[in-house]
Chain A
Amino acid sequence: MNKSLVELNNCGVFRNQKWLVRGVSLKVSQGEIVTLIGPNGSGKSTTAKMSLDILKPDEGTNTIKKDIRISYVPQKISIDWSLPLRSIDFVNLVTKHKTSEINDALGITGIQHLINEDVRNLSGGEFQRLLMARAIAKEPHFLVLDEPVQGVDYSGEIALYKTIQEIVKKINCGILLISHNLHVVMSQTDYVICLNGHVCCSGIPSSVIKDQEYIKLFGSNIDPTLSLYKHNHDHHHLPDGSIDKVDKNK
């Protein structure tokens, strides 16, 4: 039995005379957290969108298992001011849920008291929690989280990441996570893919140690005891993220 939910095979997206991202292969299976890291503009969101089939790859193939429930927490959502929308309506946006299920989901992310609040009155962090709650309520098979904790306060951030792990255990779904919190990435995910317009390197976080290239890309203020992931950089980058050497067909 092939248990993988989503597979990208050597995928790339070409827009405005430029490859946004190229040569990405990844696989997300049931009960697994795969994380994408990389600097701004490195193609993380683009990759996530290919895995959801919002973007069709211009190169390579994306395969999504048929008849699975998918939840998506996008990086940016702005609700139009003309829309009267309460939290409960937002949770019901794609799939209608029972009120008890909605209460549970909002409870998990800690905003149960805001169930009848107008979405535009929520703070950035509260709205982020609402996005998570909506994604959880669906009990998805495949969950894509694009920087799910942006704007959430520090303690809430840790709690939300714990929640994510609990969800994986509870509903046994596969998660594709985009995160800037390297501590969390390194300590709590199963597989890490480092992007910079292409796959720089990938692997199991605990199996490798950090190196200088990694620090160049992500800064040096990372607690070494927590950064268990080594960045196997076998090439150099030009300022725009493209590769200096011809070593890309490794």
Chain B
Amino acid sequence: MFDDFIIRAFAAGIGLALITGPLGCFIIWRRLSYFGDTIAHSALLGVVIAYAMNFNLIIAVFAVSCFVALSLLFLQKRTNLPDDALLGLLAHSVLAIGLVLLGILSFIRVDLMGLLFGDILSVNITDVLFVWVGGSIVLIVLILIWRPLFAATVNLELAKAEGLNVDLANAIFTILIASVIAISIKIVGILLITGLLIIPAAASRNLSSTPIQMAIISSVIGLVSVVLGLQTSMIWNSPTGPTILAIALGVFILTLIPLKKLLISKKKIELSN
């Protein structure tokens, strides 16, 4: 039967998938996938700081993520550079600083592979608690700011004109992304978290016709990917994080097939008329 660490792995993975579902939808809708990547890259600095100062990993990563997100907002206002250039600048410079610090502080021994790709099988009970408590808070806050955030996603000026507090919702959303990335570091790693945010949401887009539907289906697809991915990785002894994403990709491909068939038959009907 399942050992304890496997139950913890399932608990952490499932919890994470439930949060990344709806957040991932917003990341797709707002074309923020590179933003998620940037925050994730900069997480390395947070990890180094956490090890150097013997501090909680998740909180340190969260703090650095928030700092980077705020820097982005600042740079957007102070420069004329396009967002993708600013994000590239931040992602790689903060990553570089993290690596420099890691080299200087030679007493730190970080498992780089584990950091990059995560190690869900090594999560402890505190990590699971962080996922479920932190995740619940993230979900509740997301539900509370859903209307202004979604309206601003559809059209910023319209939402603003009609009196929604768009700036606040945007700022809170940025913090939510930072928290989810911090929570997920140990589970899927900094290179793969953007994948867990985006692939289930992308697959869900192919199946849904309303925003709320897309958010819920996205969570379900993430959940299925985590469960199947964990089991597959145990059978094949493959790395867990990548296996979960590979399964998610499989689901994405599956969502493409029936839709295409439907479209073709619809076109045929239209043509025959």
Residue ranges of A at the interface with B (Cβ–Cβ < 8 Å) = 49, 52-54, 70-72, 74, 77, 79-80, 82-86, 89-90, 93-95, 118, 138, 144
Beyond contacts A70-B161, A89-B211, A118-B209: 9 other A-B pairs, Cβ-Cβ < 8 A, are A72-B162, A77-B155, A83-B29, A83-B211, A84-B211, A86-B209, A86-B210, A89-B210, A93-B154
Q: Does B150 contact A (CB under 8 A)?
A: yes
Majority secondary structure of chain A interface residues (helix, strand, loop or mixed): loop
Cβ–Cβ contact B154 & A82, under 8 A: no
Partner of A85, one of B154, B159, B160, B161: B154
When A70-B163, A94-B164 are in contact, do A84 and B213 touch as well, CB less than 8 Å? yes
Most buried by B among A79, A84, A85, A144: A84
CA distance A74 to B160 in the complex (A): 12
Closest 6 CB pairs of A and B: A72-B161, A52-B161, A94-B162, A82-B28, A93-B151, A54-B157
Contacts of B209 in A (CB 8 A): 84, 86, 118
CA distance A52 to B151 in the complex (A): 16
Q: Does B158 contact A (CB under 8 A)?
A: yes
Cβ–Cβ contact B29 & A80, under 8 A: yes
Interface size on B, residues (CB 8 A): 24
CA distance A95 to B159 in the complex (A): 10
Nearest B residue to A140 via CB reads: B162
CA distance A83 to B163 in the complex (A): 22
Can you pick out 26 interface pairs between chain A and chain B where the beta carbons lie within 8 Å of each other?
A: A52-B160, A53-B160, A54-B160, A70-B163, A71-B162, A72-B158, A74-B155, A74-B157, A77-B155, A80-B29, A82-B31, A83-B29, A83-B153, A84-B208, A84-B213, A84-B214, A85-B154, A85-B211, A89-B210, A93-B151, A93-B158, A94-B158, A94-B159, A94-B163, A94-B164, A95-B162
Majority secondary structure of chain B interface residues (helix, strand, loop or mixed): helix
Contacts of A54 in B (CB 8 A): 157, 160-161
CA distance A50 to B114 in the complex (A): 52
CA distance A90 to B159 in the complex (A): 12
Q: Which of B142-193 contact A (CB under 8 A)?
A: 147, 150-151, 153-155, 157-164
Cβ–Cβ contact A79 & B154, under 8 A: yes
Give chain A nearest CB distance to B83 CB in angstroms.
Answer: 15
Q: Does B205 contact A (CB under 8 A)?
A: yes
Residue ranges of B at the interface with A (Cβ–Cβ < 8 Å) = 28-29, 31, 147, 150-151, 153-155, 157-164, 205, 208-211, 213-214
Give chain A nearest CB distance to B235 CB in angstroms.
Answer: 35
When A74-B155, A93-B151, A94-B151 are in contact, do A84 and B205 touch as well, CB less than 8 Å? yes
CA distance A95 to B161 in the complex (A): 13
Give chain B nearest CB distance to A78 CB in angstroms.
Answer: 9
CA distance A71 to B29 in the complex (A): 24
Contacts of B214 in A (CB 8 A): 84
Contacts of B205 in A (CB 8 A): 82, 84
CA distance A13 to B160 in the complex (A): 18
Contacts of B28 in A (CB 8 A): 82
Contacts of A74 in B (CB 8 A): 155, 157-158, 161
